Amino acid sequence: MKPNIKNIAVLTSGGDAPGMNACIRAVVRTGIYHGRNMFGAVQGYQGLINNNIIPMDARSVSNILHMGGTILKTARCLEFKEEAGMEIAFKNLQEKGIDGLVVIGGDGTFTGAKRFGEKFGVKVIGVPGTIDNDLYGSDFTLGYDTAINTVIEAIDKIRDTADSHDRLFFIEVMGRDSGCIALRSAIASGAEAVLLPERETSLKELIVKLKSGASTKKSSSIVIVSEGNKYGGAYDIAKAVKRKFTHYDTKVTVLGHLQRGGSPSGFDRILGSRLGFAATNALIAGETMKMVGLKGNEIGLTTLAEALSGLSNYKLEDDLLEMTHVLSI
């Protein structure tokens, strides 16, 4: 017999991602529509431990669709990794009668949710909120589309300067273990080369490619570097290339946390709404220890364990990888 979930809390944890507010809004309003009492944990798992859990109504989430970040704040909570911290969080949920939890975040968030659910029997559904797009079970994670558009906009501006001054720019983007942002932004911005964690490109290959572009009178070159690339960050790579390739004046731009912020794209607003709606409905239907995700154009469920298999199951698209070579000549 499925549980009768009456009180649901939602939290955001780990790195923020554009579209989280759209998801919070959908979770809260879907729960209220179905007659549930809704709560928000401020600062993620830390909020559960600190008992910073506030009641939310339909007006609590008004006018937030367009906002970046998360109105519930977020934090990385080392205390929640320990059983003692989890026990405090569980007692706080019990005191408020909360019997369902929606967690929005990435792999660290889901790891905590999985352990919490297994240890204390908490009913939990995850929503993939991370710009890295590195959770198995969803073609797109929340915030990924906005991050790509932010990167593209920045590269377009840098290209203007690169063309004007005959420069080579190395642009570092986020993606410690995943080259998803780097790959798509490279294609969309017409970058001459991209360095990814998943596929090794030697510095010799990169220099040959840049020399080829110079010989055909390219006025500038853009190289996208995923931060998880094996040769190091953009500064290290630029220094190594500069020693052997002096045709261009070499510059480095690290986009950093710029990629996390900003108003979410239309895609992420809709995705956040769909995932939040589905997460609340899944809890009410008796599902637990699962993640809601976009597969094709349908919302489906994946176990948290499968979702956390992440990069071991993810494969960069072969056609996109080939395009980085073919279209950059």
Count other C-beta atoms under 10 Å from residue 317's C-beta.
Answer: 11
Apex CA 179: angle with CA 175 and CA 183, to 5°? 125
SS (H, E, C) 116-173: HHHHHCCCEEEEEECCCCCCCCCCCCECHHHHHHHHHHHHHHHHHHHHHHCEEEEEEE
Q: What is the number of H-type helices and E-type strands within the chain?
A: 11, 11
Q: How far is CA 25 from the centre of its chain?
A: 18
Is residue 206 a contact partner of residue 250, using CB atoms and an 8 Å limit?
no
132 catalytic, yes or no? yes
Q: Which two tokens stand for residue 316?
A: 């960069």
Coil vs helix vs strand at 49: helix
Which residue spans within the chain are E strands per DSSP? 7-12, 37-41, 53-56, 100-105, 124-128, 167-173, 193-195, 221-226, 249-254, 290-295, 298-303
Closest residue by Cα to residue 282 from 115, 116, 103: 103
Question: Token pair of 39, please?
Answer: 């709560």
Structure tokens at 126: 């995850």
From the list 132, 134, 145, 268, the catalytic residue is 132
From the list 161, 146, 267, 168, the residue with the least C-alpha distance to 222 is 168
Residues labelled as active-site residues: 132
